[in-house]
Amino acid sequence: MRLSKRRKPNALWRNHELKAPCRKATMIPELGHFALILALFTALVQGTLPLYGAQRGHAQWMALARPAALAVFLLVSVAYLALTWAFYVNDFSVLYVAGHSNTRLPLMYRLAAVWGGHEGSLLLWLLMLAGWSLAVALFSRRLPTAMVARVLAVLGLVMAGLLAFVLLTSNPFERLLPAAEEGRSLNPLLQDPGLVFHPPLLYMGYVGLSVAFAFAISALIAGQLDAAWARWSRPWTTVAWIFLTLGIALGSWWAYYELGWGGWWFWDPVENASFMPWLIATALIHSLAVTEKRGSFKNWTVLLAIAAFSLSLLGTFLVRSGVLTSVHAFATDPKRGVFILILLAVVIGSSLLLYATRAPQVSLGGRFALLSRETMLLVNNVLLVVACGAVLLGTLYPLVVDALGLGKISVGPPYFNTVFVPLMLPLLFLVAIGPVLRWKRAEPRELLRPLLLPAVAALVSAALLPWLAGAWRMGVAWALGLAVWIATAIVWQSIDRLRKGMPTASWWGMQIAHFGIAVFVVGVTMVSSYEEERDVKMSPGEVVTVGGHTFKFLGVSEAEGPNYVAAVGTFELYKDGKRLRLLHPEKRHYDSSAMPMTEAAIDAGFTRDVYVSLGEPLADGAWAVRVYYKPFVDWIWGGCLLMAIGGAIAASDRRYRIAVRRATPAVVHSSAL
């Protein structure tokens, strides 16, 4: 359809002909839409026939699961590529593209804009779910056929539910006729490298929990909740957890440097929505360890797997329904909320019903003494689940109060801090003890050798470190003492273990992840106790000092970016009279948007960040300026990174690849220690 052959005198029109090859209306978006519809039917096949086959022992029907998963993945990929294409060629006859892109948006952000809005981010979600299904189909050669068929069927059903959601309420391929001349562009906040990675990582984690869920549900259906099931489920759960950890950490870092708020966590409902599945997934990882090694906690593990995935769906509901006042809230459509709520009800309802019918037949597993690793992991689980419950309460309480007509309220960050910190302190204390205890029964005297040195180190640090950091405070003493307790215990235990030969990858993974917690705790404690923040009015030539660092304001000049103009400030940073460097915070005005955007300038360091951002221009060339001194703030994300690396090392353990084969022939209770 080469309508654009005729020359139009209109300047805008010519401009489009020049820049965008898109004016040829193509069928590609329809192709994408059609692929999604086909994917829905394929997913329904994947979700039903293999399940039926597994129950009846029909090998051919079970064998359908793998090719169906592959087909769904290919179809969803076609849809995803079709939408990406529409962004690439600026096809503004697609409503979603017109709403989230324009011709002057740089290519990288045009491609990332695919998941910059509701419809596209759900499509990304679908692609990832299809990807996880395909991964299960590919890497499950050693699993029994019936198990694979069931797992893929459960994933197929989840897929079908979400595909129906997208097709019925959030079709990204909806046309805008006549086509828009120019798109509305992407929200400037999202025009940042952080956007390119944060949502995909987070979604990988969210969606990955569906695999743990599918394993749990298929084990329930089969009535085989055994050690083998736990061993198969473990690496998948860990990998999903790694993505979730990285996604949350990256989101936190993004908020810190991009939003110009200077905080790293706000207890915002949407942050909580990603944090709750993380807490439960963390509990699940530990509970799976007990189920695999000792055959205990089976019912509990299954419940955690169901809860983790349900909380992922709840998170989607909270983000996408617009029911909560949140910094993340985007303009939304209530119809979608209702659909997700129904999906959530179906998932939770059917899972729990299945659980109720099967749970009584599950054996209890090995007994254990009060002082044993099992007890430690039980306490870990209780604390994490209670913490998650408290976060859930604080997040949903405003909704409940509103629904009951008791008024509109909000729950502030102090609530979450007051509740969360006391719950985490005992957990930190136990992190050092758990790994040295033996399964089943441990003797108190065995604890003395591995823990004496860490205990002394912790007490000394608690007494001295806060004093060195600035001012001695009780809370800081506790937190730093516990961080040192964990760190020294890990180092000490590692030296001890190395004498007896090389420990397994799992063991190293655990220790590195736990070490990450210590690093994280140092970061959180230092920044929340000793940070300095100041909002000041500054005229060129004036100086301001925070945390021993002096900023000299030199002035503001104009600069032009690809699709914005910016006021660029220049600050000289001094420490102890020595000039360190220049800092250039920006205030950007994007062409497409009425709102300005703050770009903070950060001088990052191992033990501190200093941070300056521009507020509004005031009279006589003065500016409102925000300056921060953030001690150890980067340790927060460093700790998260260590946790993720630890998880990756643990998931790579050879045991998961070799032992699966051994576990396959009818081993019901692994007695491995």
Partner 1 sequence: MKPRHQRALLIVGGLAALGVAAYFVLRALESNIAFFISPAEVVAGKAPKDKVFRIGGMVKEGSLHRQDLTVRFVITDTAADIPVVYTGILPDLFAEGKGAVAQGKLREDGVFHATEVLAKHDENYMPPEAAHALEQAQKAQRTLAKP
Binding site for partner 1 (CB under 8 A): 184, 187, 189, 259-261, 322-325, 327-331, 367, 369-370, 375, 378, 382, 386, 390, 393-394, 397, 407-412, 414-415, 418-419, 422-423, 535-537, 593-598, 615-616, 618, 624, 626
Work out how close the CB of 385 gets to partner 1 at its nearest, in angstroms, rounded to a whole number. 10
Residue with the two structure tokens 């103009």: 565
Name the helix (H) or strand (E) containing 490.
helix 474-499
Work out how close the CB of 360 gets to partner 1 at its nearest, in angstroms, rounded to a whole number. 19
Amino acid at 106: P
Q: Is the dihedral of CA 136, 138, 144, 147 positive or negative?
A: positive
Q: Between 67 and 621, whose beta carbon lies closer to partner 1?
A: 621
Residue with the two structure tokens 């909002």: 535
Work out how close the CB of 367 gets to partner 1 at its nearest, in angstroms, rounded to a whole number. 6
Residue 653: partners with Cβ closer than 8 Å, 6 or more residues away: 235, 504, 505, 506, 509
- CB-based contact 241:510 (threshold 8 Å): no
Provide the pairing of β-strand 578-583 with 596-599.
Answer: unpaired
Q: Between 325 and 357, whose beta carbon lies closer to partner 1?
A: 325
Q: What is the DSSP letter of 592?
A: T
Of 245, 267, 273, the residue nearest 255 (C-alpha): 267
Q: Between 420 and 507, whose beta carbon lies closer to partner 1?
A: 420
Q: Between 403 and 452, whose beta carbon lies closer to partner 1?
A: 403
Q: Is the dihedral of CA 464, 470, 473, 477 positive or negative?
A: negative
Q: Between 247 and 394, whose beta carbon lies closer to partner 1?
A: 394
Strand order of the β-sheet with 608-617 is 532-538, 623-631, 608-617, 601-604
| Dist CA 398 CA 394 (whole Å) | 8
Q: Between 74 and 624, whose beta carbon lies closer to partner 1?
A: 624
Strand partners, 535: 626
Q: Between 117 and 247, whose beta carbon lies closer to partner 1?
A: 117
Work out how close the CB of 369 gets to partner 1 at its nearest, in angstroms, rounded to a whole number. 6
Work out how close the CB of 348 gets to partner 1 at its nearest, in angstroms, rounded to a whole number. 22
Residue 666: partners with Cβ closer than 8 Å, 6 or more residues away: none
Work out how close the CB of 236 gets to partner 1 at its nearest, in angstroms, rounded to a whole number. 29
Work out how close the CB of 629 gets to partner 1 at its nearest, in angstroms, rounded to a whole number. 17
Amino acid at 396: L
| Dist CA 164 CA 173 (whole Å) | 14
Q: What is the DSSP letter of 502?
A: P
SS3 589: strand
The 10 Å Cβ neighbour count of residue 498 is 10
Work out how close the CB of 139 gets to partner 1 at its nearest, in angstroms, rounded to a whole number. 37
Q: Between 503 and 615, whose beta carbon lies closer to partner 1?
A: 615
- List Cα–Cα distances, 612 to 40, 245, 535, 615, 651, in angstroms: 50, 28, 10, 10, 40
Q: Between 212 and 378, whose beta carbon lies closer to partner 1?
A: 378
Angle in degrees, 0-180, between the axes of helices 413-433 and 448-469, rounded to the nearest 10: 140
The 10 Å Cβ neighbour count of residue 109 is 22
Residue with the two structure tokens 């192709």: 31
Q: Between 189 and 565, whose beta carbon lies closer to partner 1?
A: 189
Radius of gyration, CA atoms only, the chain: 27
Q: Between 147 and 304, whose beta carbon lies closer to partner 1?
A: 304
The 10 Å Cβ neighbour count of residue 233 is 26
Work out how close the CB of 533 gets to partner 1 at its nearest, in angstroms, rounded to a whole number. 10
Work out how close the CB of 298 gets to partner 1 at its nearest, in angstroms, rounded to a whole number. 17
Work out how close the CB of 157 gets to partner 1 at its nearest, in angstroms, rounded to a whole number. 33
Q: Between 180 and 354, whose beta carbon lies closer to partner 1?
A: 180
Q: Between 45 and 391, whose beta carbon lies closer to partner 1?
A: 391
Residue 298: partners with Cβ closer than 8 Å, 6 or more residues away: 225, 226, 230, 291, 362, 363, 365
Q: Which two tokens stand for residue 223?
A: 């009535």
Work out how close the CB of 597 gets to partner 1 at its nearest, in angstroms, rounded to a whole number. 6
Work out how close the CB of 326 gets to partner 1 at its nearest, in angstroms, rounded to a whole number. 8
Amino acid at 315: G
